[in-house]
Amino acid sequence: MEFNRTELMPGVFLSHLRSDKFKTACMSVTLLTQLRRETAAMNAVIPFVLRRGTTRYSDMEQLSRRMDELYGAAVEPVVRRIGEIQCIGFYGSFPEPDYLPGGEALLGDTCALMAQLLLDPVTRGGLLLPQYVDSEREKLLDIIRSRMNDKRSYALTRCIEEMCCYEDFAVSRFGSESEAENIHYKKLTRHYRELIQTCPVEIFYCGKTDFKAVSAAMRDAFSAMPRGEIDYDIGTDLRMNAVEDHVRFVEEEMDVTQGKLVLGFRLGECMEEPDIPALYVFNAVYGSGATSKLFMNVREKLSLCYYASSAVYLHKGIMLVSSGIEFDKLDAARDEILAQLDSVRRGEITDDELRSAKKSVASDLRAVQDSIGELEGFYLSQALDGLDYGPAELAALAEDVTKEDVQAIAESIECDLIYFLKGSGEEDGSDDETA
């Protein structure tokens, strides 16, 4: 795989990954904006409204017909949160010429369609269509309200909200229900016009077409993008230490049959000059995967939980440990989760544990190269970090991580908040996860 990156026009960047591995090519176009409580819902609904129609293809039926003409090309709205940056836009895929009758190239037509969706929405009187905005607002509200359905995910969200209550990371990528309810087509049109002019834009391509040809096609397709004063001042507040000088505890009741325990940690001073491979390996040693300390000890050996795993949010510098427990095992499970972290701090890592962790990390990173969608997400994250490591390079670096590197990461970590979702005495059949 060959990687190149360039600035196509002010604030519009292209990341190009040439690969002969896939039968389809992919491209994405992403607007980057600061995650804010007051604008998150409006930002989130924009790609869904834009996907409803363009000046040339004014409704979903016409758009679908056009994609059928492009041999099943697909373009879908995407809303992501990377650290405290909200990423909104489109992800598209289309067949490579080798697999089409006559070797027809679809790059130019697909680029043009994606640019039309982003820059030339169907309007009336210069305003986004109210029926499209109203429809997508209701769908967004359904998404926001549905977070209650998955209790494991809900507990993680609530831990983040409480732990980061003074930070923008507490804001959902879809925004809040109250803000979504107030979305109006006139206000949304003004906001959309402002974003198009001021947001940095990341375009990604992965496929067989060379860098020069892709750059030319992208420049041609997006040449009409209005560029004003670009807001480059976006980023994430990396807090090295816990908000309070003590570990906060938050408990909630809900009709659940299984308790959800989430511990939130700050990664601390190791985020000043983060050693990304070492962070990956630490997470694998401690709580990610079937050979981790949390899985082997808290779940298997002591049977204190139905599941226990850790996840590191590198773009924010936090770690969450999620577990499902019996209500009366709160203290025991919490204490053992913390004890396993202490063991890593002391360097109590066997050669087998370290070897398995490094193997797992390297395998996961190399597997990214097998999925065109995973590659798109990986390189978007790299662009936001200002890095140009490929998955294979990071995998090789992970294999060189030492026990001392992992121990140093653990020594930097500080528990900030413990969240516990317990039952209220009534059963809820939707919460039946036991593995």
pLDDT digits (tens, 9 = 90+) for 65-114: 999 999 999 999 999 999 999 999 999 999 999 989 888 889 999 999 99
Is residue 296, in this structure, part of any structural domain at all? yes
Per-block average pLDDT, block size 10, for the chain (435 residues)?
93 96 96 97 98 96 96 96 97 93 90 96 96 98 93 96 96 97 97 97 96 96 93 90 89 94 96 94 95 96 95 96 96 97 97 96 95 96 87 95 97 97 66 42
Compute the distance between CA of residue 398 and CA of residue 393 in angstroms, rounded to an integer. Answer: 9
Where a domain ends, among 203, 221, 239? 221
Q: Say if residue 212 is in the same domain as residue 293.
A: no
Q: Which domain holds residue 294?
A: 248-423
Is residue 199, in this structure, part of any structural domain at all? yes
Q: Say if residue 362 is in the same domain as residue 410.
A: yes
Is residue 228, in this structure, part of any structural domain at all? no
Q: Say if residue 216 is in the same domain as residue 253.
A: no
Side-chain-side CA neighbours of residue 136 (13 Å): 25
Q: Say if residue 79 is in the same domain as residue 131.
A: yes
What's the confidence (pLDDT) of residue 432? 44
What's the confidence (pLDDT) of residue 425? 65
User: What is the DSSP-derived secondary structure letter of residue 121?
Assistant: B
Q: Say if residue 89 is in the same domain as residue 21.
A: yes
Q: Per the structure, how many domains does the chain have? A: 2
Q: Say if residue 82 is in the same domain as residue 44.
A: yes
Q: Say if residue 202 is in the same domain as residue 255.
A: no
Q: Say if residue 212 is in the same domain as residue 266.
A: no
- Helix extents (H) in 171-323: 177-181, 185-198, 211-221, 276-286, 293
Compute the distance between CA of residue 261 and CA of residue 333 in angstroms, rounded to an integer. Answer: 9
Q: Say if residue 112 is in the same domain as residue 190.
A: yes
Q: Say if residue 199 is in the same domain as residue 347.
A: no
Residue 366's domain is classified under what CATH number? 3.30.830.10
Is residue 226, in this structure, part of any structural domain at all? no
Is residue 235, in this structure, part of any structural domain at all? no
Order of strands across the sheet with 248-254? Answer: 248-254, 414-423, 259-266, 318-325, 307-313
Where a domain ends, among 154, 186, 221? 221
Is residue 172, in this structure, part of any structural domain at all? yes
Is residue 431, in this structure, part of any structural domain at all? no
Is residue 116, in this structure, part of any structural domain at all? yes
Q: Say if residue 169 is in the same domain as residue 263.
A: no
Q: Say if residue 213 is in the same domain as residue 252.
A: no
Choose among 15, 8, 10: nearest CA to 385.
15
Compute the distance between CA of residue 122 and CA of residue 112 in angstroms, rounded to an integer. Answer: 15
Q: Amino acid identity, residue 387?
A: L
